[in-house]
Chain A
Amino acid sequence: MKNLEIKGRNIVVTGGTSGVGRALVGQFIELGANVATVARNKDGLDQLKREHPQVIDIQGDVSQVRDVYPIAGEVLSRLGDVEILVNSASYLGQSPLRLLMDTECEDFAKVFETNVLGPFRLTKALIPSMILRRSGLVVNISSDAAVSAYPTWGSYSVSKAALDHMTRIFAEELKGKNIHFLAVDPGDMNTPMHFAAIPEANPSELKDPKVAAIQLIELIQSGSFQQIRRSL
């Protein structure tokens, strides 16, 4: 997959109505890709559709097991075989953030449903055609919290560490089949999620999600996938 061309590729981005997911949808479309995005928020999808009429908008919640096959069925019907899957939909957990000891089990589970089980189920549902075609890329959007133990980021942090490791295991098990996996930390971005976590953050010190999207696409275009976990 050296010098991977984006134009004409079938790409799925989850969480495409906010943050880096939304920026990725815009950038991929600008480069001529066929893009489907999945999000819970109907108003956000409608707004995205107004900006990018060609986007395939799919309302669904990747954290819900019952939504996964309808999402996959709609992607495969309307977009066709997926060549690149970007699992960007994330849930921070309750904000203001709490100590792990104060985190309710139900909220911890909900973070895992979105950040680990969602990408797991959707990857399983969408990569069979990649395996049979012997070509494909799955990008999981991670965080520096997957590596650093920041107090109060507990459930999110643990879920992103699990996502990183899931990415490595998929990559190891599918080694030699020309299916590539990346876990990408896009950096601290000026997004609603970052402000939910750190309300006092200084926007001028945060990365524009569009910049992160461009960096990620450059990484994809480079075809350099040997190192699975990357920071932008």
Chain B
Amino acid sequence: MKPAKNSKRRFEHTKLLVIGEDHESRIGNLGDIVREFDGSEVLVVNCSGTLPASFHGRHVSSGKMIEIRLASFQGEMHSWLAVAFGEGSWKAPTENRKPPPQLEPRQMIEIGHDLRAVVESVDVEFNRLIRIRFESESLVQRLYQHGRPIQYSYLEEDLEVWDQQTLFAGPPISVEPPSAGLNFSWRQIFELQKKGIEIVPIRHGAGLSSTGSELLDQKFPLAEWFSIGESSAGRINSAKKEGRKIFALGTTVARALESAMANGKVVAQGGLTTLRLGSDYKLQVVDGLITGMHEPGSSHLELLDSFCSRERTQRLYALADKDGFLAHEYGDLAFLKCKCA
């Protein structure tokens, strides 16, 4: 499938592949999505903002240049999982990037005179996967000042911070946009509300999607932070009790909701999740998913296995590809109203 090569939003003209409860598929536009709801459903959305999360700096021990891409928020703005790359830019495919210098705990990465990161620990298997701690006064300002949006070589232009924000963007705890929401407009959200659909917010720090290393990518998604408030948990539990369907806008929402399930209820909480959704996971909260089109083999596709068999997903991807669907964060969408039994 061809990637969407720029960040221009197509809103209601975004293509939408719908897979119904009967597993039959149809193709339409996002502008018609309201017809896919009967008015009793809950649509849960991720209200995280996206931080410009790529930082170029100097690895002080070796003197070499290094890029740090934040990979996952760990609950406070100083502390992140991150993946290191050697010198280079997003314009080179990640798989062709130079490796970073050897990393050890307590080493320093100097990003600017007012922003440094200390390597706190290094993954035993992958030296590039590290936990860092930022050291700076006015940290959030410095992160915006020195960070650039994480982006990949299929894009043609530099992204700006606003290119990565969805309608619902709140605290900047995602490192890549929770992209299923990028093409929604408030007009559509208000139309959904008018029809009776409840829009319920949660937060989930969307992580890094790809490193260029197939082996390292297999560890994804990493532990990611999420939070569900009392009010949102209550609204979701009431809907479940009344037999109303819960749809997730984006895979991060699905992961958060399933992680928060205990004794048949969504429990309000904030914390890290390591839950992996896949073919062997039986969904307990989520009845459907609106999601983008992503690379085969990605952890995203693995998550779709809990909604639709891999064979069917591949057939649907082929159908969408034939219809000119575009892939990746600025691409087209699928609405899976089904789930695997």
Which of A60, A72, A131, A132 meets B49, CB within 8 Å?
Answer: A72
- The answer to the question of B221 belonging to the interface, with a C-beta cut-off of 8 Å to chain A, is no
Interface string of B211-232 (1 = CB under 8 A from A): 0000000000000000000010
- The answer to the question of A226 belonging to the interface, with a C-beta cut-off of 8 Å to chain B, is no
- The answer to the question of B171 belonging to the interface, with a C-beta cut-off of 8 Å to chain A, is yes
> Do residues A73 and B49 form an inter-chain contact, with CB atoms below 8 A?
yes
- The answer to the question of A76 belonging to the interface, with a C-beta cut-off of 8 Å to chain B, is yes
Which residues of A are found within 8 Å of B161, using beta-carbon distances?
66, 69-70
Classify the secondary structure of B's interface with A.
mixed
Which of B51, B167, B200 meets A128, CB within 8 Å?
Answer: B167
Classify the secondary structure of A's interface with B.
helix
Known: A59-B141, A74-B140, A76-B172. A69 touches B47 (CB 8 A): no
> Do residues B140 and A81 form an inter-chain contact, with CB atoms below 8 A?
no
Near B by CB (< 8 A), chain A positions 49-84 give: 58-60, 66, 69-70, 72-74, 76-78, 80-81
Kindly report which residue of chain B lies nearest to residue A126, judged by CB atoms.
Answer: B170
- The answer to the question of B118 belonging to the interface, with a C-beta cut-off of 8 Å to chain A, is no
Near A by CB (< 8 A), chain B positions 156-201 give: 161-162, 165, 167-172, 186, 199-201
Which residues of A are found within 8 Å of B171, using beta-carbon distances?
73, 76-77, 80
Interface string of B125-141 (1 = CB under 8 A from A): 00000000000001011
Near B by CB (< 8 A), chain A positions 130-153 give: 131-133
- The answer to the question of B145 belonging to the interface, with a C-beta cut-off of 8 Å to chain A, is yes
- The answer to the question of A47 belonging to the interface, with a C-beta cut-off of 8 Å to chain B, is no
Which residues of A are found within 8 Å of B141, using beta-carbon distances?
58-60, 70, 74
> Do residues A70 and B140 form an inter-chain contact, with CB atoms below 8 A?
yes
Which of B45, B138, B169, B199 meets A125, CB within 8 Å?
Answer: B169
- The answer to the question of A95 belonging to the interface, with a C-beta cut-off of 8 Å to chain B, is no
> Do residues B140 and A69 form an inter-chain contact, with CB atoms below 8 A?
no
Distance in Å: Cβ of B29 to nearest Cβ of chain A:
23
Distance in Å: Cβ of B145 to nearest Cβ of chain A:
7
Which residues of A are found within 8 Å of B51, using beta-carbon distances?
73
> Do residues B170 and A76 form an inter-chain contact, with CB atoms below 8 A?
yes
Tell me the A residues contacting B by CB distance below 8 Å.
58-60, 66, 69-70, 72-74, 76-78, 80-81, 125, 128-129, 131-133
Tell me the B residues contacting A by CB distance below 8 Å.
45, 47, 49, 51, 77, 138, 140-141, 144-145, 161-162, 165, 167-172, 186, 199-201, 231
